[in-house]
Structure 1
């Protein structure tokens, strides 16, 4: 039971002050005029002022409340290294028992987890959430057991009591870390890009080690080993071998005694893109389709086009030598012998043998394809004649043989069942509702795959792989009708783009491909194939464990499934002959960037609350009571600030100036002053 004097004025304090000034002025005036009752008049005025202030005596029935201590246990990924988890758990249990044994004290235990994504240890966020659930006036202290590697230490949190950090880990801990920086998301194929790599030894590392081994592998291939200096930035030039996603893995092999090898690996995923597509267009004669080819290729700013056109009509025989027809000698030797490897794609548009390109040049085109080049043949009536380029060294790579028939009738190009599964022709715009073509060259497939058909299901578009290169044959020269919008037109631009990208071996247009797309720790696995069924996909995790999953068909030639990887690292996927790799998780997990226990990060926060940082390996500290504002930590001890909080159960108010008393006393004083002055 406690009591206190309180005032609840009947008028505002400002009015009360004005009335007090009037009473004081009147009293001074009475003194100045020599009135003998000035003292009684002043007491009467003071009595009225006191009555207006309404004083009361308040009695409270109080019940004391317990102090609250928040005990935060760091359970982030870095706390699982070495024996930190057991060290933290045992110390937390002992502290909890010690706090529970204190009189008038409660404990709140909270667990600190990793932040969402790769946010790292969210200690301050966890403490802020715990404080939001407790009355701040009862919090006597905050104790956190952690390795000190806190990633939200700069979060502004107002702490009502001292914060103490008890460091896990050992003073003899050391770790080796590999980091890669300056890694762009995209790089041009064939052009080197420079990555900066660094290997650091942190903590109490063993002496005498100045170099470290380094393994580098691309797309899961056998690694190449190098030796790099420790503690120095190293610039590594890297050239991407192919388009699409390239997965580069850097590994510094684990060393005995280091805390973890989780930060000895860095995964970099870069997309390879082509700078420009270099195309050589060889037109046999001027025609509507040739102009369309040229306009389509020139409209794409990423295409460098060299156009070679034979201007002499086939029916003109004037005896002029072929090499004198052009004003400037065309560099056929440079193009077809010396510079042919500079082109990504060669298109023969209604071209036939005229003696301009000798057999040795066409033989060189065959070698160009076998070494990885690409050739597209757009066949016209000349392809069925005796001067057909099929009757040349190009016969070895062209996937269909002409029958010498030219079919002059209307038909609608159709994608066949195989084409529905092939990425070049699958899901073309408008779903086959295209304008008709009016000519088709009759051919018989000798190799490759027929993906589009024309009159009476005859081959119209044939695709084939030759050596390391690719060849496409379009058995008609009327594709330009789509570009002109004849009977509604058709997807000529999209078909040409897909053809070019397929021949450039772009991964998204591979007919036999296994790909995966990562979202956090989950991956979506996609299998594209020309077959109607596929076996289960085999997933090999970073630790070598394998998982087999069935693939579900989502469209003709497309199969998918999903998988959640339990660990961060490189996963290998195998499905039949198809192979792929993908990295899950960040290239360098934040929890393993710094693994050595430290006081540096949290020292500004603990100092601001008069708290301290002590190492658990030196023993569990004792707990003392300290006054608010005093240092709350010392050698092997930490302090809590008793809050002396209480709960008011009952309140009683006793007025000190009841009305009848004020009236009686003020009347006595006023009458007394009047009588005293009247007797004078």
Structure 2
């Protein structure tokens, strides 16, 4: 239903004056008669009066108000848990019959005046046409995300109820029983709560970072049901070949573990597979294997933290770097200690060095002479004139004794390393710190990792800068208050994960020396999940190690089985690199090449794609979770045989159709029909006068 109303900015009584003006003008023109019959003269007078009155009416700023009312039917979302566990551990006949009945239920609800949509774990807010035809292939189960998806999508569309069809197995995201949703949830229970006779390789424990020539353990933990007193065989395989074999005796209850001792002679990424040989009578063999992806390296990266004086930053930085076993951290505090310089440093963190008092400046000269990548942290005691000569990526013109209190903002355009999805929100919560006031100039080759926010104003001013150019890469943090970030995050979140990863990534980015390579191709992270896309980035340098752009890079990707695929991408500033999409689990190696200054340059690397395999670990449905969810929604739990009762309860709930009004105001001067009306009145009068012999 739609209605159209006419309003004016001034009192509508003024319309009478407009009408009077029209009548007056018409009377002056037609009062003496003319060559027209009496009836025609009255018609011409009417046309002229209306034309003048409508033109005068425009002086009142008229506008139209369109009111459109629509009925919004109550909406019911059928949310299907299409994870692998539903298909694996629910009897096929029963599952197919239940899904067909749910499609039929949706049709009957539609006939009763309810609007029904069907959703799954698939990305986006799109719906599926048929529950029966939906593949059960999701690799994880996030029931909260599934229910919240419908609540978020239809929160303003009269969402009445969500029917959750699931086995209750939940292995990712917040537990739904402790969440609040916009509509009541009606759970439908699939799966079987009776424990199956099965053996499960529950977990494989190992160190992800190991060193060449050392021995390291891979520990397998086994859980079983119904095989007490049986002997099982566990295999350790590499590249499809069995390298070790262990026999274990399964106890009457609980779990048992066994350990493999492995020695790796060569550096690189390794893929081991731990597999249990199937036992007679097992319910399924899908949970009998697990993968171990680890890296063997030649040695740790040596990192120096040098400070002109004791400062809370030092402990925060040291604690952050020590979370990464790849880094060997040495801390010196001037003037009490001096760096050892016994072995070359891979990177150095220089806290307020160069210093106004000169402490540590001789260390800086030695590090610069050795081309050690340096991470400069600036503060009140920094000698800014000396710092500006270092060409570290940013310079401060006309330093001031004043400070700005700024908060950090993550620059999403920086792609040399990836961050956790929660990084942006966590970093926004870090407290403001002091940054020396002045004009900060960024070098052309430098990239901003963190930006400044002053109060509520987002700026493009740098806070943390990285420069990859020669003779050695460098990074600069413009504040000496980052220790507050780590402390605040630990208090608010229970851990300082984002701060620790940020500082570790910056140091690793500096410490991974390229040995003057002209081409460097690298994955944005060392390990990817099968459910996420793989992305490779690249750097290309000229003869003086300045980054250049515009080259076409060819890449050969070797899959774990030996299959090779060819790829090409263009190296652009701020580009997205090479997106390989989702790849199967395994260790991948690549060789990249490009042509710079009429010379061919190559680079090699590797990365890991690992499979979570969470869905096959638990073969027992969790109907208690669904029952708790129903209790919280003040509904009840339904089984496949009770779908008729579910239909009755949904109809008895008597969900109401809501009436929604949409108003739209539009100036009369903006509406073409009004001008056509004026033109029609004028043309009609002119045509009649012309036809009957007088204008």
The TM-score with structure 1 as length reference comes to 0.39
The TM-score with structure 2 as length reference comes to 0.39
Question: Greater relative contact order (Cα 8 A, min sep 6): structure 1 or 2?
Answer: 1
Q: Which has the larger radius of gyration?
A: 1
